[in-house]
Amino acid sequence: MSSLIKLFVLSISVFSIASCKGQPKVSDEKAETLERPNILLILCDDLGYADVGFNGSRDITTPNLDALANSGTIFNEAYVAHPFCGPSRASLLTGRYAHKIGSQFNLPTEGDESKGIDVNETFISKVLQQSGYYTGVMGKWHLGYQTEYHPNFRGFDDFYGFLGGGHSYFPEQFKAAYKRQKESGREFIWEYLRPLEHNGKEVDETEYVTDGLSREAIRFIGEAGAKEKPFFMYLSYNAPHTPMEAKAEDLKLFEHIQDKKRRTYAAMVYAVDRGVGQIVETLKATGQYDNTLIIFFSDNGGKVVTGANNYPLKEGKGSAYEGGFRVPMFFHWPHVVPGGKVFEHPVSALDMYPTLAGLANAKIPEGKQLDGKDIWSDFLKGKNPRKDETLFIMRHRKGFSDVAVRKNEWKALKVKQQKWKLFQIEKDLGEQNDVSSRHPEILKELVSEAKVWSESHIQPYWFHIEKEGEQWRTDNMPRFDKTFKLP
């Protein structure tokens, strides 16, 4: 921990203690509010299933994450709602499948920044904010650029980060590139090079971006400690997403990794772990640690070509195989979340919305549709919150769609226009043994459920690139008649 951060934490701690000494007795109404937990939701970007120590990594060290995971509860069947960035994050914050709200694809990257998640969809941040939480998001947004889609208008009091789908990591490099492009008169400058912002105003970031986001998270926690209200922070790291850029001192720690891509990737993950350690120290120093629920996971599976490891899962980011959307995850909350446990039942990122709202005693707007459920009670009892319930994944490709359907121990899968397959996923995590011929009725049931689910979808509101949209229309997509046809 740097001396600057130590000094900041110490000053916040002293301030908080002094403030408490001088405070009048808190009213019963205030006390009830303060009993609600702080919520720290930490999301990595493209983190592999086996790229943290608590989930089996042997070459990447993550001591701070491991300490939290091992003294909390690890989820070994945690799923996100889409196998890549934008749609996954949209589902997390809206509590809805991206396909139902027109956000099946990442936002456009060819200069059209007019799009964003439907403003009629109330984000969990807004629900918590309206219930009295101090709310903040640090890092990657990827849910809209214009004012009406901006984090400050979607329930976040404080935003520090970038609005696009990614960012370069070294300020001396991206600031120089931004300056060159601006001076050249370019109308559109790549979002990865633009200045970071704080509540709508450009800032001059000087640190490696992962460290900068950790620093801002520490600032937010310090500010939250001085308020008589709980906080919700969505710490949205862009690591280890491309570009693959790591600090020299972090790379040195992983000299034992021969593969250069893997070494850089490992160093980027380690930077996240370092930041989490500093954040935990801050929570302890400000007296907020014991009443903070920390949730950690990734937005989708690891991208294998950039160095990620999803073992024992098959494939990775973008795939309907388990490696695309099954992620490492834990809950940590001293004296509340069971310590040293593994939760061996399916949960979804869609469940975060109703679960967090329940913990916050927050009112979900009347008429708000949700695709997840409040899992908290079942979680504490060690019960399966999704027994006999179905989870879906769909990835649209050129002229066809890949689909996964998970229910109890079964998973139906259709990829690359091949025939539907069936796996007994709890016994076959690597999806090696197709048992559809032995259980045709189970496969038929799952495919039928997915077909009904698809009928709730709407046409995409945008496409990542315009050529994608042109192809979509040429192919008369989504062509569900073709997708859900069985032999």
pLDDT in the model for residue 32: 40
Q: Are 341 and 326 in contact (CB under 8 A)?
A: no
Q: What is the pLDDT of residue 231?
A: 98
Q: What is the mean pLDDT of residues 339-346?
A: 98
pLDDT at 485: 94
pLDDT the model gives residue 301: 98
How many other β-carbons are positioned within 10 Å of the β-carbon of residue 14?
11
- 458 is written with which tokens? 């709407």
Give the per-residue pLDDT at 236. Answer: 98
pLDDT (tens digit, 9 = 90+) per residue, 59-86? Answer: 999 999 999 999 999 999 999 999 999 9
Q: What is the pLDDT of residue 228?
A: 87
Residues 472-477, mean pLDDT to the nearest whole number: 97
The encoded tokens of residue 469 equal 């949209």
If one looks up domain 390-483 in CATH, what number appears?
3.30.1120.10
Gap between the Cα atoms of 385 and 350, Å rounded: 13
Pairing relation of β-strands 231-236 and 134-140?
parallel
Residue 4 pLDDT greater than 70, yes or no: no
Quote the Cα angle for 182-166-308, to 5°: 140
Q: How far is CA 70 from CA 139, 157, 236, 330, 470, in A?
A: 26, 32, 22, 9, 48
d(CA 97, CA 285): 39
pTM of the predicted model, to two decimals? 0.93
**What pLDDT, on the 0 to 100 scale, is given for residue 410?**
98
- The 3-state secondary structure of the chain, one letter per residue: CCHHHHHHHHHHHHHHHHHHHCCCCCCHHHHHHHCCCEEEEEEECCCCCCCCHHHCCCCCCCHHHHHHHHCCEEEEEEECCCCCHHHHHHHHHHCCCHHHCCCCCCCCCCCCCCCECCCCCCCHHHHHHHCCCEEEEEEECCCECCHHHCHHHCCCCEEEEECCCCCCCCHHHHHHHHHHHHHCCCCCCCHHHCCCEECCEECCCCCCHHHHHHHHHHHHHHHHHCCCCCEEEEEECCCCCCCCCCCHHHHHCCCCCCCHHHHHHHHHHHHHHHHHHHHHHHHHHCCCHHHEEEEEEECCCCCHHHCCCCCCCCCCCCCCCHHHHEEEEEEECCCCCCCCEEECCCEEHHHHHHHHHHHCCCCCCCCCCCCCCCCHHHHHHCCCCCCCCEEEEEEECCCCEEEEEEECCEEEEECCCCCCEEEECCCCCCCCCCCCCCCHHHHHHHHHHHHHHHCCCCCCCCCCCHHHHHHHHHCCCCCHHHHCCCC
**Which of 336, 285, 272 lies closest to 39 in space, CA to CA?**
336
Is 142 marked active-site?
yes
How large is the average pLDDT for residues 291-297?
A: 98
Token pair, residue 109, equals 């990257």
pLDDT band at 487 (very low <50, low <70, confident <90, very high): confident
* Rg (alpha carbons) of the chain, rounded to whole number: 22
Give the mean model confidence (pLDDT) for residues 285-294.
97
Q: Rounded distance, CA 354 to CA 372, Å?
A: 7
What single letter denotes the amino acid at residue 452? Answer: V
pLDDT per residue as tens digits for the range 165-200: 999 999 999 999 999 999 999 989 999 999 999 999
- Give the length of the chain: 487
Please tell me which residue in 85, 99, 150, 241 is annotated as part of the active site: 85
Contact between 304 and 315 (Cβ < 8 Å): yes
Rounded to an integer, what distance in angstroms lies between the CA atom of residue 331 and that of residue 274?
A: 18
Average pLDDT, integer, range 209-221? 98
pLDDT of residue 34: 40
85 is known as an active-site residue:
yes
The four Cα atoms 206, 207, 212, 214 give a dihedral, to 10 degrees, of -150
Interval 415-473: pLDDT, tens: 999 999 999 999 999 999 999 999 999 999 999 999 999 999 999 999 999 999 999 99
What's the pLDDT score for residue 187? 86
Per-residue model confidence (pLDDT) at position 40: 98
Please write the tens of the pLDDT for every residue from 30-56.
334 348 999 999 999 999 999 999 999
Q: How does the average pLDDT of the chain come out, rounded?
A: 93
The domain 3-381 is placed in CATH, from the list 3.40.720.10, 3.60.70.12, 1.10.275.10, 2.60.120.260, at 3.40.720.10
Which pLDDT belongs to residue 31?
34
Q: Is the dihedral of CA 317, 83, 273, 336 positive or negative?
A: negative
Matching fold, domains 3-381 and 390-483? no
Look at residue 14 and tell me whether its pLDDT is greater than 80: no
Instruction: Indicate the domain borders of the chain.
Output: 3-381, 390-483
Query: What angle is formed at CA 303 by the lines to CA 300 and CA 307, rounded to 5 degrees?
Result: 135
Q: Catalytic one among 44, 82, 99, 142?
A: 142
